[in-house]
Amino acid sequence: MSERVVGLFFKSDSENGARIASLIKSADYDASVNFTFWAPDDGYPDAGRDFGDMEFAVSIGGDGTFLRVARAVRGLGIPLYGINAGRLGFLASGRPENAALDVVRILSGDFTKSSRAALKCELLSNGARRCFYALNEITLSKVSTSRPIGLRVMAGGEVLYRFLADGVIISTPTGSTAYSLSAGGPVVHPDVSCLLVTPICPHSLYSRPIVLGENEIIDVYPDYESEGMKLAGDGILDIEVPSGDVVRVTLDKKGVDIIKLDYLSYYEVLRKKLNWCMENIQNEHSVVKRDD
């Protein structure tokens, strides 16, 4: 009987994560099931770590932990399931009280997978090239808090934006409900293959968010003799990009397979986690009275 390896990922300093992992491991499984424990890197891990013959990974924590694990398993063919031990739990949607039962269901094959594209970000500097990946978004923002930065954003070799702003967000559909949403970007269903570009507080009346095709190449330059900009991926990776360097972002179709159980649909998650259309839901059964 071949061994079935399940990876449990949680922060090393998370007592709650360790407790949930212990509950998962102590449940009744077939003798072939083995659990390995991993602590997500607090830095910026990319795919390439050796997880052996891991059948699937379980992230135990909030969405930040989920994003770290997603980068680690990106492109390795290891599906990822999230148990929410944090706050929002938009990506890590499993409930801690159902954690062991969820793992049993996944081992039995009672689940579906949602393939999510990631972003590939290349920092081009004096002929050198550094590469990073993100599941939600790449953010380019101002270095100084006291004034905006000049940015030139190119798409397919043509000027898309040239403005003063606090920055710009390039996101996947998965990331459309994260920072991009807060900056006024649209919600895009994760089954849509595209790129989103969302300006952050542009000093312009006409710089609106835009949805681009899946094969687009986006280049971002510091502009207007700017002092440079900061590069972040999924809320971490704080790198200064000096004037003269280029940040190139494309869709990385290797991505991550997210395990989905039948607890909540995407639209139910929008309603429950983001209060989408809650006013209409609360009033749909009410009778509107008016004076004639």
- Tell me whether residue 227 is in a domain: yes
- Tell me whether residue 289 is in a domain: no
CATH number (domain holding residue 171): 2.60.200.30
Same domain, 102 and 20: yes
- Tell me whether residue 291 is in a domain: no
- 44 pLDDT higher than 60: no
pLDDT digits (tens, 9 = 90+) for 19-42: 999 999 999 898 899 999 998 865
- 45 pLDDT higher than 60: no
Considering the chain, what is the average pLDDT of its residues?
88
pLDDT digits (tens, 9 = 90+) for 192-237: 999 999 999 999 888 999 999 999 999 999 887 667 789 999 988 8
Asked about 63 being catalytic, the answer comes back as yes
Its domain, for residue 190, covers 118-253
- For the chain, how many structural domains are there in total? 2
Same domain, 195 and 246: yes
Same domain, 229 and 147: yes
**In the numeric block, which tokens belong to residue 171?**
């996101």
What is the pLDDT at residue 108? Answer: 95
Catalytic entry in 13, 41, 63, 257 = 63
Same domain, 123 and 96: no
Rounded to two decimals, the pTM is: 0.89
Same domain, 194 and 154: yes
For 92, 174, 265, the CA distances from 185, given in Å and listed in that order, are 22, 12, 22
